[in-house]
Amino acid sequence: MNKTAVICRKLFFERPHHPGVQFMRSFYIGALATVLDIALLLFLKEYLHIYYLLAAGIGYIAGLITNYLLSNKWAFDYRLLEKRKFLEFSIFFAITLAGLVFLEIIMWVFTSLFGLYYLLSKVIATLLVFIWNFTARKIILYSKYGQ
């Protein structure tokens, strides 16, 4: 088997033991959740004329649910609270809610204070919040060190 095939197999199909693989899978999941998030933001803001920060929050929550389901199935090989799903989701939600607060503040600063287009602000905020979300989730929910 060639080197590219081995890398693809480890990255996409084998259990994700290596933190680098977990990070990449989380990035892919985050990208998918972000597409859903931004699509909802655009639809709600441009077609339903909902205030951009409210629309961003709604899109973010839709991305959260997508991210939670896919992260548990594909991104991580260990779940500290696997048998306590309500507690696990509550902590996942709390981490993501903190991320939402960061996202809203970053978007407001870039859009309202610096005059950046709201979608560009969203992209910048999303990249920064991804780092927060991955790190907090990895340490608290998907690490044996959280025990």
- Kindly report, residue by residue over 129-142, the tens digit of the pLDDT: 999 999 998 888 88
pLDDT over threshold 80, residue 10: no
Rounded to the nearest integer, the mean pLDDT of the chain is: 86
Which pLDDT value is given to residue 16? 67
- Taking only the tens place, the pLDDT of each residue in 25-68 is 888 998 999 899 889 999 999 999 999 889 988 998 898 899 88
C-beta of residue 124 within 8 angstroms of C-beta of residue 58: no
Query: What pLDDT sits at residue 120?
Result: 94
Give CA separation, 120 vs 38, 80, 97, 110, 125, in Å.
11, 36, 21, 9, 9
Q: Assign 77 a pLDDT band (cuts: 50, 70, 90).
A: confident
H/E segment holding residue 143: none
Q: Tell me the C-alpha to C-alpha distance, in Å, between residue 36 and each of 43, 58, 144.
A: 11, 11, 31
CA distances (Å), origin 123, targets 23, 95, 136: 19, 19, 20
Tell me what pLDDT residue 117 has. Answer: 93
